[in-house]
Structure 1
Amino acid sequence: MASKTTCRPTSCTSCPHTRHAAPHTAQLVLPAPTHTSFVRELLPRHIADPAPRLLYSYAHAATGFAARLTARQAAHLETQPSIAAVVRDKVYQLHTTFSSDFLNLSPSFGLQAESNSAVDAVFRIRSRALALATLLIVRPCVGAKMFYRGYEAKYGSIDERMQTKSPLDTLVMLSRMPTSLVLPMGLPRPKSTAPGARIAMYKVCWAYPISECTTTDILAALDEAIADSVDVISISIGSPHDTILSEATSTAGFNAVRKGIVVVGSAGNDGAESTVCNIAPWVLTVGASSMNRQFPGVVVLGNDQTFVGTSLYPGNPYDSMRPLVHGYSAGSPYCEIGKLNGKIVAGKIVLCEAGGGPKDVEKGVAVDMAGGYGYVDEYVITTAHLIPGTAVPHAAGEQILQYMNTVPYPVGKILFYGTVVGSSPSAPRVVSFSSRGPSTNALEILKPDLIAPGVNILAAWTDANSPTESAVDPRHVMFNIVSGTSMACPHVSGIATLLKKARPSWSPEMIMSALMTTAYGTDNAGDDIKDMATRMAAGPFELGAGHVYPNRALDPGLVYDAGMDDYLDFLCGVGYSEKQIDGVFNKDGSVTNCSTRERTGSGNLNRPSFSVYAGAYGESIILRRTVRNVGSNVNAVYTFHLSSPPGTEVSVSPGKLVFDAMHQTRTYKIRIQSTAPYGFFTKYTYGWIAWSDGVHRVRSPIAVTWPSQRAAVSTMIYQLH
């Protein structure tokens, strides 16, 4: 059992200081000798064997160390007054071009122009080999560090025949690849979100034998990033069931934010309600959206019915009709390797059902081995197929099967159109896999905060793995089409880097506020952004404040700021003990006294969003917010506009905010009164409030959770704790 004091355990390797050094070989970061002797002195002789193995010492992300201990040793240390906390190590999963055009980023105007493309800003990413999304290496990487002791403590030594430890090896190979060999589907040369930024890489996730990232390694990487004085931290890792104090990105992120570093995290790819990760209010949490770029693989049936699927197969839009057969009729409904009857499949297009175990590309291999021509899968994911293949929605698959069952000789063809950009279907949309709120561990902190492009993103890729991550796929590429909130997160990280360069005096909270209050909520057809999972309008628990709008964030008008006192009030208000707070957050040695603090609760934390519980009929909730004038209009008068969530009546006091100086602050109160009759049954209702001076529109979402859902969420919290 790997355990650590004050935070979570970790394993690591490091390299040069990111602001001043060019990348070179990573050097080992050793545990501090004082921590080694400290642990030995605390352990009685009868439980001192085996000797504790220290993995890391933390000085910036937390105050403490990571060590491999027995259960008895960990239990004893937890009783010591000099130990704030002992936390068992845990594992996390990764949340795994054109997007800069979709975001309207250009070096000639707006945010890229005013920030000078973030020249010399240092951007920190986590990686498993390479997961750079659109933040491609257009300037030298200034640091590449690797952290693996926590992983090796759990799984043994990393087999470097299967994966390289150093991110630099992959970077060298990437730099030697000609563009023509790595850009699929006729895509144009990719564009960077922050082309002037320098990248510091901290590798914490490992693929073999199991694809995981340990808390110990994550915390060590964040510790190094803070020491290296990076400007922005981007981390696409998380767990939906972490509390604010148990989440590595949360505790370390707090100390990063205190030093002026913007921390951006991915929302997660679990899709379901209340699965959102990176829930701390000081972390900018990003969900995933679609773009108006597609890779169509179109199925045309003999009766002229047409179904648009998605495919990265490099075919063409011309083909002849071929016989259709269902995988079930050929021996395997899921098209498993070795189970299809070649006599039935030969020369035909096979319809494969979703699921069953094989990956999309493996289904294609099964069809090819049986002599088939191509296949149609019912699981919608954009795949670089080895043979002619496409993926269609389940409903489309049902209609194709219905046609096959109603004609004696069903035929069809698959047409491939490469890369298509257009207004249909509407974009952006919240994608089905993007994790949703509300968080069961921070009910009044509205998460996610934003959405950004996260579907079919052209991303750097390691040649240690095939583009489909399947053992039957022999191909190796340096770029791949990837989806996930791990692709959305770096977009916002790059935008935050630009904004930090353009507005260097702004705090991380001000940058977060500017991005949230200027986000938009309508698609390119002028309708509310839709949720692909429900086909209905998306709410704040799906899209947060909306879709990121980089250029508008330059001049947000008003911003919501927060500081150390605000966060301590918040932590005391939501019930954390003084020992917990001091052990994780108060690195300066001060002692928190919650009895003297304003226990405002999480709802009153000065964030640009509102999430509340509905009370009984007639009951009211009053929340307070403070805004700072940073707009182009110094002498500004802001009036409010609002849309009350159904079942409530919202009022704001005062009705006007009058400013006569830059950076002046004003405070307002918002009252949310329940007007719904007894028995009003719904999970959530949504609204918004916006302040406007005629030039700026400062918009914040409002989410209301109703009693029936509150009881369900409270039960979940009880079970989790």
Structure 2
Amino acid sequence: MAMACRALLILAAVLLLCAAECHLVHAWKRSYVVYLGAHPYGREATAEDHARATESHHELLASVVGSKQAAKDAIFYSYNKNINGFAAYLEEEVATQMAKHPDVLTVMPSKMMKLHTTRSWGFMDMERDGQVLPDSIWNHGKFGQNVIIANLDSGIWPESNSFSDEGMAPVPKRWKGGCTDTAKYGVPCNKKLIGAKYFNKDMLLSHPAAVEHNWTRDTEGHGTHTLSTAAGRFVPRANLFGYANGTAKGGAPRARVAVYKVCWNGECATADVIAGFEAAVHDGADVISVSFGVDAPLADASSFFHEAVTLGSLHATIHGVAVVCSGGNSGPFEDTVVNSAPWVTTVAASTVDRDFPDQVTLGNNAKMRGISLEASDLHSNKLFPVINASSAALPNCTVHHATNCATGCLDPAKVKGKIVVCVRGGDIPRVMKGMTVLNAGGVGMILANGEMDGNDIEADPHVLPATMITYDEAVSLYNYMSSTSEPAANISPSKTELGVKNSPSIAAFSARGPSGTLPYVLKPDVAAPGVDILAAFTEYVSPTEVAADKRRSEYAIMSGTSMACPHVSGVTALLKAARPDWSPAMMRSAIMTTARTQDNTGKPMREMDGKEATPFAYGSGNVHPNRAVDPGLVYDITPNGYFTFLCSLGFSTKDLSRLSSGKFTCPAKPPPMEDLNYPSIVVPALRRRMTIRRRLKNVGRPGTYRASWRAPFGVNMTVDPTVLIFEKAGEEKEFKVKVASEKEKLGRGYVFGKIVWSDGTHYVRSPVVVNALD
């Protein structure tokens, strides 16, 4: 009996060891994208072509894993339309072997990307007092009629009035997409919303809990907000709890929209994103809007083919599809901008001339300005006791969690009847901090910026009287609280203020250049409204939300470069409708060279802290849509131009041949990277002197353009020739920019100048950025 028990114990131990080993082997696997380049066929490929491509992927992986069945089991996406490659769940050793295969361009492990989370169109002079202006790009661009905008994001709330198809014509016959949801509460297509697909296979492998349902419906609100900003219909009387009341509309309200849900619970997985890009291009999108990206810039340009947005957008551009991306929310620090490839339009976030101020009155009669979307009256003739959240921590919570007003961390006995000072930041959403205070019996909340947040404040629809204050104001508040044994305060209701001066300014959160990944290209390209933007939102209710905040609104106010990106996506769609023969590069050039660098007082645009902003914050300036439809001249770049640029970066003819289906060969001596025909000029390492070349294409009437310029400080700059004569539309002319450093003025880092070509009517402006080393 003892022997039998011992045998059973040994068998159990063996089984446990086996189970543990099997788990470890499984844990070694992860998602990889095996990238092979481009397919030789175009959008007109047949189903047989796609099937052959998929079969070739099975055979390629089988050559390493040993059997075709094992390859089929491992592959969960076969990119068989315009991108050539596949996504598979592999062991690291297999991925390493695949990377060495002569047919493979690169193998990238899957990474997670983060979402970059009405009045704006009027502020950009497209309308005034609700009326469309005669020279508005809306008139030239037919409100984006029949242009197709694809949104890669968190899905859509299709019931929103912003996506009504009332009065719209039938769907364009060139469209190949559709709505694929089979769930009971999936997303139906109409003549406005003509496509809805979801991609979550990579997310299911890496973060299965993030996938709530297999559908395209938006449970977060981000995708609905961004897409309605780009192309929402005119919806009168839109507001958030009475704030920002007016007619909501997108940039291209008559454009068709297609949704590709690739983001789940705030994150977007590599293989899903690439699948979304491929589907959008194949289905027939004209513009792709992307409001997410990696957390930090890529290590260097050699990593280009290891990043999903960079790779997917390159294939889109090759097929003539314009891609617009958010620049990221890691500002105000330099070298934080993401999505910096030269074939995408990268957007920074700026303010509009609307604010939602309130006022905090302290017991010593000092007053400080805050911002909020909460209008409850906190008995304006009475002061309430003020307590710092860190002083009200429950025993089961750390002081850190209490300071951040984490759920369930405040002691009701200490908080009841008081205004609580919570610190902004941490993992707790700002509105949830207010819920914590309310649930503990607090009567109000002051959300105080930390030093890293500076003076960047955002309005939120709080559940109790509350406000956010700047870091400077927070320091004053803390000083007051420490000066008295009975600190007291009151918070006034907030109000909507229009015509705010020194607008636009650049949001502190908006990521800045220079791009460490690609310092030869100025990023971001342009700035657009991205602070306190009203747009459509989800009405989905999750169990956790029901417990936290039961209020619902069809529209929400949000901030982020996520909100700035679709403004430019909408403008790009208007340009596509007005100028259908323009390439993506020409549309980007028109937007960049007509942008403004002054605010509504006629002074240079500034940071939110009042300092003068630079092109590393706003690129070429704040977008001015009406000018973009008639820029006079543009800087064009063909796919071969991008391929040549990649050759200059060090990619080989073999690499580029795969991208171009064998139609491109690197030049024997690639030109300097600074010579990419971009609408801005950057010399990241000037050593004594350099000559940069550019070409301008006439897209207007015949005319004579003359150059004027302002050299960056400490740099001698000349333009040759100074006069360009264009005799017909489509004609191209080359010019040179010569820069030389002044030795006695070295050591200042990056300095900024500009070049303007004008025929007296058009002003084609390009920023010039130089870092003189010796």
TM-score by length of 2: 0.80
Deviations 1:680-708 (A, max 9, x none): 33331111111111111100001122449
**CA gap 1:547/1:356 in 2 versus in 1, 3 angstroms:** closer
What is the match of residue 284 of structure 1?
345
2:594 aligned with 1:518, yes or no?
Answer: yes
SS of the residue 2:246 aligns to: coil
Q: Which residue of 1 aligns with 2:312?
A: 252
Q: After the TM superposition, which of the residue ranges 341-350 and 230-239 deviates more from structure 2?
A: 341-350
CA 1:180–1:202: 2 relative to 1, 3 Å: same
1:91, 1:215 within 8 Å by CA — same for their partners in 2? yes
How far apart are residue 614 of structure 1 and its match? 4.2
**What is the DSSP-based 3-state SS (H/G/I as helix, E as strand, rest coil) of the residue aligned with 2:564?**
helix
Q: Which residue of 1 aligns with 2:367?
A: 306
Residue 611 (structure 1) aligned with residue 686 (structure 2): no
Equivalent residue for 1:95? 116
Matches within 5 A, 1:682-697: 682-697=748-763
1:121 equivalent to 2:144? Answer no
- 1:236 aligned residue (273, 279, 291): 291
Structure 2 CA distance for partners of 1:638 and 1:598, relative to 1, 3 Å: farther
| C-alpha contact 1:456 1:483 (8 A) present in aligned 2 | yes
Q: CA deviation at 1:113?
A: 0.6
Give the aligned residue type for 1:388: P
Distance 1:190 1:317, change over 3 A: farther
2:693 matched to which residue of 1?
624
Q: Work out the CA distance in 1 between the residues paired with 2:459 and 2:51.
A: 43
Equivalent AA in structure 2 for residue 589 of structure 1: G
Q: 1:59 and 2:95 equivalent?
A: no
Question: What is the deviation of 1:302?
Answer: 3.7
- The separation in 2 between residues aligned to 1:506 and 1:75, in whole angstroms, is 42
Matched with 1:714 is none
- Per the alignment, residue 644 of structure 1 pairs with 711
CA distance in 1 between partners of 2:509 and 2:51 (Å): 39
What residue identity is the alignment partner of 2:674? Answer: G
SS in 1 for 2:108: strand
Match of residue 39 from structure 1 = 60
Does the C-alpha gap of structure 1 residues 30 and 470 become closer, same or farther in structure 2, counting only changes over 3 Å? farther
Match of 2:530 in 1: 454
Give the aligned partner of residue 572 of structure 1. Answer: 647
How far apart, CA to CA, are the structure 1 residues paired with 2:695 and 2:518? Answer: 21
Would the aligned equivalents of 1:144 and 1:168 in 2 still touch at CA under 8 Å? no
| 1:704 counterpart residue number | 770
Quote the Cα distance in structure 1 between the aligned partners of 2:362 and 2:650: 61
Structure ID, larger Rg: 2
Q: 1:112: Cα distance to partner?
A: 0.3
Q: Which AA in structure 1 matches 2:481?
A: M
Secondary structure of the 2:248 match is: coil
The percentage of aligned residue pairs carrying the same residue is 34
Show structure 2 runs of 5+ residues with no match. 1-29, 44-49, 166-191, 394-401, 450-456
The residue type paired with residue 511 of structure 1 is M
- TM-score, normalised via structure 1 length: 0.86
Cα distance, 1:663–1:38 mapped onto 2, change above 3 Å: same
Q: 1:664 aligns with which of 731, 736, 749?
A: 731
- CA 1:265 to 1:545, structure 2 compared with 1: closer, same or farther past 3 Å? same
Q: Secondary structure at the match of 2:744?
A: coil
Q: Which residue of the other structure, out of 619, 623, 626, is the alignment partner of 1:548?
A: 623
CA apart distance, 1:83: 2.6
State the 1:411 CA deviation. 3.2
Deviation by residue 1:94-135 (Cα, 9 ceiling, x = unmatched): 111111111222445321011111111111111213499x99
Given candidates 206, 209, 216, the residue that maps to 2:271 is 216
- Residue 494 of structure 1 aligns to which amino acid in structure 2? G
Distance, in Å, in 2 between the alignment partners of 1:179 and 1:552 is: 27
CA deviation after TM superposition for structure 1 residue 248, in Å:
2.0
Tell me the CA shift for residue 84 of structure 1.
2.8
1:5 to 21, 31, 34: 34
Gap change, CA 1:336 and 1:214, over 3 Å in 2:
closer
- Please give the alpha-carbon distance, in whole angstroms, between the structure 1 residues aligned to 2:471 and 2:543: 24
Structure 1 residues 316 and 32, CA gap change in structure 2 (3 angstroms): farther
1:166-222: per-residue Cα shift (whole Å, max 9, x none)? Answer: 2389999999xx987974333223122111101011110011xxx311111111111
Tell whether the 8 Å contact from 1:124 to 1:199 is kept in structure 2 after alignment: yes
Q: 1:79 to 1:253 in 2, by over 3 A?
A: same
Post-superposition CA distance 1:209-253 (Å, at most 9, x none): xx3111111111111111111111111121233343322222222
> Where does residue 142 of structure 1 map in the other structure?
194
SS of match in other structure, 2:83: coil
Structure 1: how far apart are the matches of 2:372 and 2:519?
39
Write the distance in 1 (CA, Å) between the matches of 2:584 and 2:686. 33
CA distance in 2, matches of 1:180, 1:691: 43
* Cα distance change, pair 224–355 in 1 and its aligned pair in 2 (3 A): closer
Shift of 1:384: 1.5
> Counterpart in 2 of 1:715?
none
Residues 33 and 99 of structure 1: CA distance in aligned 2, closer, same or farther (over 3 Å): same
Deviation of 1:329 (Å): 4.3
Distance 1:74 1:497, change over 3 A: same
2:35 maps to a residue whose letter is: T
Aligned in 2, Cα 1:229/1:362: closer, same or farther, shift over 3 Å?
closer
**Cα distance, 1:7–1:464 mapped onto 2, change above 3 Å:** farther
Q: CA deviation at 1:65?
A: 1.7
CA distance in 1, matches of 2:556, 2:215: 21
1:421 corresponds, among 498, 504, 517, to 498
Deviations 1:381-408 (A, max 9, x none): 3222111111000111221233334456
- Partner Cα distance (1:464, 1:146) in 2: 17
* Residue 427 of structure 1, CA deviation: 0.9
1:675 is aligned to: 742
Q: Which moved more, 1:52-61 or 1:369-378?
A: 52-61
Matches within 5 A, 1:458-477: 458-464=534-540, 472-477=548-553
